[in-house]
């Protein structure tokens, strides 16, 4: 954001924290779904709502703290984050096809990949255990805002299954 900085992350600590943020919760969710399917199904809607609230609070906090600079941030990183976002959607969809996933599964991989990247990056940037640098959360926050629009577009396009049939 206008100046270069060298950041050295403690690799082991960073990897453990990223594991704690991503792999462990997903694994717990998969275990709960496997062992307690009825509970899992009943919990799905409340968990989705809480997740949406959580990401909204994080993004709103970053935007609020940088609201005076938001236009400049979009000018600086908006185009590249849009490109990255679209690339993740396309790559996620077509790469998952290599694993013989169905169209709905491929669609989910594409959309979830795009959404989770922003959340993880914001968490890493703002975490007091990792970067502890709210300014570094601006590109992923811009990415996340763009993802709402491209995500809606992707859901619309991917729901038109005939476009993807051979």
Residue 125 lies in a domain: yes
Identify the pLDDT of residue 9: 60
Residue 107 lies in a domain: yes
Range of the structural domain that residue 146 is part of:
44-164
Domain count, the chain: 1
Residue 20 lies in a domain: no
Residue 48 lies in a domain: yes
At 7-22, the pLDDT tens digits run 666 667 667 777 777 7
Identify the pLDDT of residue 7: 60
Residue 29 lies in a domain: no
What confidence tier does 99 reach under pLDDT thresholds 50, 70, 90?
A: very high
Please write down the HEC assignment for all residues of the chain: CCCCCCCCCCHHHHHHHHHHHCHHHHHHHHHHHHHCHHHHHHHHHHHHHHHHHHHHHHHHHHHHHCHHHHHHHHHHHHHHHHHHHHHHHHHHHHHHHHHCCCHHHHHHHHHHHHHHHHHHHHHHHHCCCCCCCHHHHHHHHHHHHHHHHHHHHHHHHHCCHHHHCC
Q: Which residue has the higher pLDDT, 80 or 4?
A: 80
Residue 131 lies in a domain: yes
Residue 70 lies in a domain: yes
Q: pTM, whole model, 2 decimals?
A: 0.63
Identify the pLDDT of residue 51: 78
Residue 82 lies in a domain: yes
């Amino acid at each position: 954001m206008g100046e270069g900085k060298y950041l050295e992350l403690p690799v082991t600590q960073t990897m453990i924290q990223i594991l704690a943020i991503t792999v462990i919760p997903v694994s717990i969710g998969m275990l709960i779904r496997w062992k307690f399917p009825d509970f899992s199904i009943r919990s799905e809607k409340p968990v989705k709502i809480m997740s949406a609230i959580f990401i909204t609070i994080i993004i709103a906090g970053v935007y609020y703290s940088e609201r005076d600079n938001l236009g400049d941030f979009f000018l600086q990183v908006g185009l590249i984050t849009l490109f990255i976002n679209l690339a993740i959607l396309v790559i996620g969809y077509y790469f998952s096809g290599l694993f013989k996933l169905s169209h709905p599964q491929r669609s989910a991989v594409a959309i979830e990949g795009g959404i989770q990247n922003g959340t993880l990056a914001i968490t890493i940037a703002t975490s007091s255990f990792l970067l502890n640098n709210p300014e570094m959360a601006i590109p992923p926050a811009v990415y996340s805002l763009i993802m709402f629009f491209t995500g809606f577009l992707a859901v619309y396009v991917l729901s038109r299954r005939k476009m993807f049939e051979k």
